[in-house]
Amino acid sequence: METGHISVLAKEVLTFLAPKPGGIYVDATFGAGGHSRAILNALGENGKLLALDRDPDAIIRGEKLVKLYPEHMTIKHTSFQTLGDTLIEWGEEQIDGILFDLGISSFQIDQPERGFSFRFDGPLDMRMDHSLSSNSKTAADLVNTMSERELIDIFFKYGEESRARKIARAIVCDREEKPFTTTAQLAQLAQRVIPNHKRAIHPATKIFQALRIAVNGELDQLQKGIDAAINALGNKGRLGVISFHSLEDRIVKQTFKKVTSHPQVTGPAALLPQAKLPSLPFRLLTKKPVIPCVEEMQHNPRSRSAKLRVLARA
């Protein structure tokens, strides 16, 4: 783990993922490498870890860890939505455990040039993958080209922003005079349209969240990644997901519920005697999401919204 980033729920992840010596594991979101390092330390001589990240900066950090564990660790620059194909390439289609840590890292937040935070003035970018090979649109592209209706939909759907219409209208009006190019421009608009005294959080918070999700296609990729992870779990394999806002957690909760519950019987069939139901292939290890303790939240305020859910193949 590098200075500046603290892995969230690190002890809880190790407890629930329970990495075993010689096991095969995946860190689907390498980030700063704290979780990967903890898993590697538990794997012994014959264990293997595959780390993924779509951020090229994370891959550079990860190469340093690979040098410490050259026989045990592989890192790949890719999104976890490619997990199925990536596991085939790696030669390990069945795994013992996998972790998704969906939060953006402190490195990303604290670098003004990445454009993730309204605390600094920087280019309005927000791309997780900012490599030369990436052809994804930036947040500035969306803000300057989308219609008012499209912006309303993004802010309402991905930011759950109640003032989505008012914000979108102001953006469309302002960009006619000057295109949006920096985080400060957008943050200042939010403060103008939504005065600080009317809400507990910074008025730009939900706008930035919504744009980041839209730019990176985060929710669609999450669903694909979790589905692939579930399919790849071997006997008694475990899947842990740390989410940081309600939209992510809802996808995780609903997907886990779907594979750990029998379909509800409706219509005339509900009146028939209930047959013995077959055993389910998965079980929940966390009846309720695991959240950071008070001490962790005090030590690392960015952990306060984290929720960990864990699934196991029966």
Which tens digits make up the pLDDT trace of 237-288? 999 999 999 999 999 999 999 999 987 766 665 666 666 778 899 999 999 9
> Is the pLDDT assigned to residue 209 strictly greater than 90?
yes
> HSE on the CB side for 277, CA within 13 Å?
10
Domain assignments of the chain as residue spans, ordered by start: 10-101+218-262+272-313, 129-216
Does domain 10-101+218-262+272-313 match CATH 3.40.50.740? no
Quick one: pLDDT at residue 195?
A: 78
Fold of 129-216: DNA polymerase; domain 1 (1.10.150)
Quick one: pLDDT at residue 136?
A: 83
Quick one: pLDDT at residue 198?
A: 61
Rounded mean pLDDT, 201-208: 93
Q: Which residue has the higher pLDDT, 243 or 200?
A: 243
Quick one: pLDDT at residue 21?
A: 95
Q: Which residue has the higher pLDDT, 30 or 197?
A: 30
Quick one: pLDDT at residue 81?
A: 96
Q: Which residue has the higher pLDDT, 198 or 150?
A: 150
- The radius of gyration of the chain from alpha carbons, rounded to an integer in Å, stands at 21
Which tens digits make up the pLDDT trace of 64-111? 999 999 999 999 999 999 999 999 999 999 999 999 999 788 888 888
Strand partners, 73: 49
Quick one: pLDDT at residue 186?
A: 97
Percent of the chain at pLDDT above 70?
Answer: 93
3-state secondary structure of 208: helix
**Nearest residue to 4 (alpha-carbon basis) of 51, 77, 57:** 57
> Is the pLDDT assigned to residue 309 strictly greater than 60?
yes
Instruction: Report the amino acid identity of residue 119.
Output: R
Whole-number Cα distances in Å, 66 to 71, 203, 262, 304: 8, 41, 42, 30
Which tens digits make up the pLDDT trace of 225-238? 999 999 999 999 99
Quick one: pLDDT at residue 271?
A: 60
> Is the pLDDT assigned to residue 201 strictly greater than 60?
yes
Average pLDDT of the chain, as a whole number: 92
Rounded mean pLDDT, 111-140: 89
What pTM was computed for the model? Answer: 0.91
Do 10-101+218-262+272-313 and 129-216 show the same overall fold? Answer: no
Whole-number Cα distances in Å, 207 to 19, 25, 46, 185, 247: 38, 35, 46, 13, 14
- 305's CB contacts (< 8 A; 6+ apart) are 244, 245
Quick one: pLDDT at residue 107?
A: 81
Quick one: pLDDT at residue 147?
A: 98
